[in-house]
Structure 1
Amino acid sequence: MQATPFCLKVGDLLSYSMSDSNTTDFSSPSTFILLGIPGLEAAHVWISIPFFIMYTVTLLGNFTILFIVKTEPRLHEPMYYFLCMLAVTDLVLSASTVPKMLSIFWFNSREIDFSLCLTQLYFIHCCITMESGIVVAMALDRYVAICDPLRHSTTLSNCFVAKIGLAVVLRGSILAVPYPFLARRWPYCRTNIISHTYCEHIAVVKLACADIRISSYYGLSVAFLVIGLDVSFITVSYIQILRAIFSLPTKDARLKTFGTCGSHLCVILAFYIPALFSFLTHRFGHNVPPHFHILMANMYILLPSMLNPIIYGVRTKQIRDRLIWHVTHIE
């Protein structure tokens, strides 16, 4: 059934929610209303332009990576398998959030079904946790390739890579389950208006008229546990990698070996820096304007997914050469 067009202004929405919040029961809301970026409503169309460009680059870049790895047998190696996992995760993450953002900016389509909102919330946290795990798996691949190159093919066999991929998917899927489960059990008796462009966890549960400390503490615990463990593993891996690199006899050998880690280091920075910045501004930046919080949260979703295929496409010779070959042989 087609949703009823929603064309009220933000001021109307706010006045509606304030006037009805004491009399309307949202304990089981059928829909939520996403405001987009409050305070920047007049600029929504302009903001949508870079968002649309970033989403287009994300789709083209990640599908190109998948196509090149699939069609080039020489790229059927652990590093490129992990890269394909990263590409699929980025595609799912962006597809679950960006189309709704653009529909808000372009068509003022602010309504989202309650179940769809919780589904979006689940996929966001699932994909982010999976992406962090894939970055760790890539660090493991670089560690074995540099510190124990003779055993790389036997250690990181196809079977072992598949087990790592399965573990990453299971970890992300299981850890993300409590987010929508807890959000669904809270009663919503205040308002159904979310001041965001997507169903961000805290933005949703803050609407509940109940003690939401369980949701808040769980979100903090998972963030510290996942990021803490993953960053610690990556740090230990690169300490060992740097030791192995500095033990090489010549400067050229050291630079060449370190260059094989360049793409992965860029992906690490592109993923964790926006995540850390968004997390810190959301939790501790109480004096930061709300629209800045939301813009940073959007960059956290959009930026890594767009940059990952660009980084590997530009810095990895095998992918770059294969892409050039495909382009030059188009008839």
Structure 2
Amino acid sequence: MASDPLAPPSSPSSSFTLLGVPSLEDFPTCLGILFCSAYLISLLGNGLVLLVLGLDTSLRLPLHGFLAMLALIDLVMVTSIVPKMLGIFWLNSTEIGYTSCFVQMFLVHSTTSEESGLLLALAVDRYVAICHPLRYQTILSHQTVAQIGLAVLGRGLLFMVPLTGMLTSLPYCGSRRAPHSYCEHLAVAKLACADPRPVGLYSVAGSSLIVGMDLAFISVSYGMILRTALRQKSCWKALSTCGCHLCVLLLYYVPGMVSIYVQHFGSSLSLQAQVLLADLYLALPTMLNPIIYSMRTRQIRRAVLRVFCSRKVHT
């Protein structure tokens, strides 16, 4: 007896179907241009940061180590989702393999945890630089920076390994059409024909703990920075820098946590808005981080000019 070609796949080796952004299927070109532009800016900005930090030997402060880690994580994060999104929007390539889906999921959600840890590390770096400038390199030695980097990476892996195990152990015997533009873990969990609530509880509890802890320490760091800056006569630069950093932090944390809470607890927010929130909180910060955290730094701006001007002279 021939099998029904429209029947949902039932074997572990089968694929999922990503539907993109629900209710906006008629605007694939516009969506593709939006995310392609963000992707190209992210590649250019983060790639330039890594290039300059690698070539200019004068940029070896702890801050520059954190910026290099942030740029690398941003590249992994945005590259894990946007090319597939463009395939959905422009080529109608909605199918993604079972293994590819979970690899993408692992990369996306582990890098979001790592990005949060690095934003905290950058806040601590600015606190030490402004509030304890004479002890900056003593407190943040190369060994300490390496340990912080390993801790950030380890936390992301410790969060995602159990979550990935829980998701891959679920049976997917029904529809595999996920109303999303990438393999978002809660959207995939809802496709299982078993109870997905343990996955949702673990995700919400873990995300809330990570974000809550990081935001608490970030708030304390910037509070101390502002208190120190207000005592100085030339405090405008510090206030401007903190304001830009806080705007990027809000763009990263608010849409991400709203997306997770809305999907788990339910809300009147439309599915279209939920998916766009989940997409934008990954794409926008990766585009803005190199501008706000790196290019606003005078040393890096000068290093960019040195790198490109010296190349012009040699050519």
Q: TM-score scaled to structure 1, two decimals?
A: 0.87
Contact kept? 1:94, 1:302, Cα under 8 Å: yes
SS at 2:27 equivalent: helix
Give, in whole Å, the separation in 2 of the partners of 1:70 and 1:46: 36
Deviation at 1:52, TM superposition (A): 0.6
Please point out which of 213, 216, 225 is paired with 2:200.
Answer: 216
1:52 and 2:49 aligned: no
Please point out which of 101, 105, 111 is paired with 2:85.
Answer: 101
What is the CA deviation profile of residues 241-278 of structure 1, one whole-angstrom value per residue up to 9, with x for unaligned ones? 22222333x2x2x2344455455434423322332443
List gaps (5 residues or longer) in structure 1.
1-15
SS at 1:33 equivalent: strand
1:318 and 2:302 aligned: no
List gaps (5 residues or longer) in structure 2.
none
Deviation at 1:108, TM superposition (A): 1.2
1:178 and 2:162 aligned: yes
CA pair 153-263 structure 1, distance change in 2 beyond 3 A: farther
Give, in whole Å, the separation in 2 of the partners of 1:71 and 1:25: 50
Give, in whole Å, the separation in 2 of the partners of 1:68 and 1:282: 40
Give, in whole Å, the separation in 2 of the partners of 1:27 and 1:203: 19
CA pair 38-268 structure 1, distance change in 2 beyond 3 A: closer
What is the CA deviation profile of residues 210-240 of structure 1, one whole-angstrom value per residue up to 9, with x for unaligned ones? 1111101000011110000000011112222
Give, in whole Å, the separation in 2 of the partners of 1:75 and 1:269: 28
Identity, % of aligned positions? 43
CA pair 271-38 structure 1, distance change in 2 beyond 3 A: closer
CA pair 314-269 structure 1, distance change in 2 beyond 3 A: farther
Contact kept? 2:55, 2:307, Cα under 8 Å: no
Please point out which of 249, 254, 264 is paired with 1:268.
Answer: 249
1:308 match: 289
CA pair 259-47 structure 1, distance change in 2 beyond 3 A: closer
Please point out which of 37, 42, 62 is paired with 2:46.
Answer: 62
2:122 match: 138
Give, in whole Å, the separation in 2 of the partners of 1:284 and 1:186: 21
CA pair 206-27 structure 1, distance change in 2 beyond 3 A: farther
Contact kept? 1:27, 1:187, Cα under 8 Å: no
CA RMSD of aligned residues (A): 2.1
1:87 and 2:68 aligned: no
Please say which of residues 310-319 and 194-203 is displaced more in the overlay: 310-319
Please point out which of 259, 263, 270 is paired with 1:278.
Answer: 259
